[in-house]
Amino acid sequence: MAEHAQYQNEIYLQGLADHVPPFTTDATRLESVAESRMEPGPFGYVAGGAGSGDTARANREAFARWRIVPRVLTDATTRDLSTTVLGTALPAPVLLAPIGVQSIVHPDGEVATARAAAALDVPIVLSTASSYPLEDVAAAGGPRWFQLYWPNDPEVCASLLRRAEAAGYTALVVTLDTWTLAWRPRDLDQAYLPFLRASGVANAFTDPAFRAGLEKSPEDDQPMAILRWVSLFTGTDKRWDQLAFLREHWDGPIALKGIQHVDDARRAADEGMDAVIVSNHGGRQVDGALAALDALPEIAQAVGDRLEVLFDSGIRTGADVLKALALGAKAVLLGRPYVYGLALAGEAGVRHAVRSLLADLDLTLGLSGYRTPAELTPDALRRV
Ligand SMILES: Cc1cc2nc3c(=O)[nH]c(=O)nc-3n(C[C@H](O)[C@H](O)[C@H](O)COP(=O)(O)O)c2cc1C
Ligand SMILES: O=C(O)C(=O)c1ccccc1
């Protein structure tokens, strides 16, 4: 089986009928393609990073320092990329990262993303700040996890978790690196912030506990509802011992997202968490931060036998995925590339972006001499 690589054959065969893919198969070029076709506000929001953009650049540079050392005369003609993460069966070690406010790039937003992912059986991680209510996105039917921006109001928190569980989200991803938005010059220069225009507030505005805390409904007084939204999701009143609250209100596995320091990873394991996602939020939060890939090996080594280690920030190609897996990740989350796919061609665009990555990964794995992700160790790489 080398099913993901079939996309390569499919593309060449369609060429015989004069069809070419909807946009480039090279995700490292997607950003510039998207820039020429997107509105400046939404493009800047998606592409932008914290401060100088240094962390987002560092994420990419870290991948370039690790080189794959291919093996020959191994049995890699047929490959099996499937794996299981937090109880979810994956066709390949790739999930779609939680990305809020997707309606700013395409009117169908997260619903289109969820449909494309469901068709491929690739799990989505739906953001708390999605443009569509979590129940509407669940209707796409694919494997799904829910990402929590941990609200300051416990009633709202419990209510969101109840709804996510009822709608079939099977794992919880708690994002800890974004209790306020960083200094983001690209957005500041355009004075562009989607939430102030009521994008990305659908889960809250449809939530009974959120609505109960308002004098007038969000439909009758939108500015007041937005103000409550901002105050709910801003601030640092959370501590490690409060993870117990999430355990009480969520039956499935829990992952902590935004882990960069090995001591935080150890603490997550001590607190009984099921996974950590090594991530610097795609370079959107701390300017000058460690590249996420450079944080990965130490964390995987320290806690890889106690919980599942996932990774995101800077994944663009199959080689990037291979490198993260070899350095200890069980699976990776894809961020911006699928959002550019959504912007460029809606549901079909997400499908194309994801299929391209999976095919590239499948071929790169095989050509490097490996049959399965589990065979990858740091020995597959050399740091230069
Ligand atoms: C436009 C945008 C919105 C995002 N929204 C969220 C979010 O709502 N919740 C979250 O946990 N992470 C969010 N992230 C971070 C991603 O989940 C992920 O960590 C990051 O995009 C990975 O880096 P990459 O884009 O370089 O692949 C967002 C990222 C972008 C680009
Ligand atoms: O923009 C982001 O990076 C992000 O994580 C976010 C935060 C709040 C709402 C939507 C997205």
Above 80 in pLDDT, residue 328? yes
Q: Is the pTM of this model over 0.95?
A: yes
Q: Please, are residues 46 and 291 in contact by the beta-carbon 8 Å criterion? A: no
In a domain, 1, yes or no: no
* Band of pLDDT at residue 115, cut at 50, 70 and 90: very high
Above 80 in pLDDT, residue 2? no
Cβ 42 under 6 angstroms from ligand 2? no
44 closest CA partner among 101, 95, 98, 97: 101
ipTM above 0.90, yes or no: yes
Ramachandran angles phi, psi of 162, nearest 5°: -60, -45
Could you give the 3-state DSSP secondary structure of residue 140?
coil
Over residues 317-322, the mean pLDDT reads 98
Q: Please, are residues 286 and 52 in contact by the beta-carbon 8 Å criterion? A: no
| Ligand 2, atom 9, residue with closest C-alpha | 129
In a domain, 73, yes or no: yes
Q: Which of 199, 281, 332, 336 to mutate to test the pocket of ligand 1 (most atoms within 8 A of CB)?
A: 281
The parent domain of residue 174 ranges over: 6-375
In a domain, 384, yes or no: no
Determine the distance separating the centroid of ligand 1 and the alpha carbon of 281, expressed in angstroms: 5
In a domain, 131, yes or no: yes
pLDDT tens figures, 144-169: 999 999 999 999 999 999 999 999 99
In a domain, 382, yes or no: no
Supply the CATH number for residue 356's domain.
3.20.20.70
Can you say whether residue 329 is alpha, beta or left, with left for phi > 0 and alpha for psi between -120 and 50 degrees?
beta
194 closest CA partner among 319, 88, 55, 48: 48
Determine the distance separating the centroid of ligand 1 and the alpha carbon of 98, expressed in angstroms: 6
pLDDT tens figures, 170-224: 999 999 999 999 999 999 999 999 999 999 999 999 999 999 999 999 999 999 9
The pLDDT of residue 116:
99
In a domain, 230, yes or no: yes
In a domain, 198, yes or no: yes
In a domain, 381, yes or no: no
Cβ 100 under 6 angstroms from ligand 2? yes
Above 90 in pLDDT, residue 236? no
Determine the distance separating the centroid of ligand 1 and the alpha carbon of 270, expressed in angstroms: 26
The pLDDT of residue 1:
57
pLDDT tens figures, 11-66: 999 999 999 999 999 999 999 999 999 999 999 999 999 999 999 999 999 999 99
β-strand pairing of 381-383 with 66-68: antiparallel
Q: What is the number of structural domains in the chain?
A: 1
Cβ 129 under 6 angstroms from ligand 2? yes
To the query of whether residue 4 is one of the catalytic residues in this protein, the response is no
The pLDDT of residue 186:
97
DSSP letters, 61-109, are: HHHHHEEE----SSS-SS----EEETTEEESSSEEEPP---GGGT-TTH
β-strand pairing of 331-334 with 381-383: unpaired
The pLDDT of residue 221:
97
The pLDDT of residue 43:
98
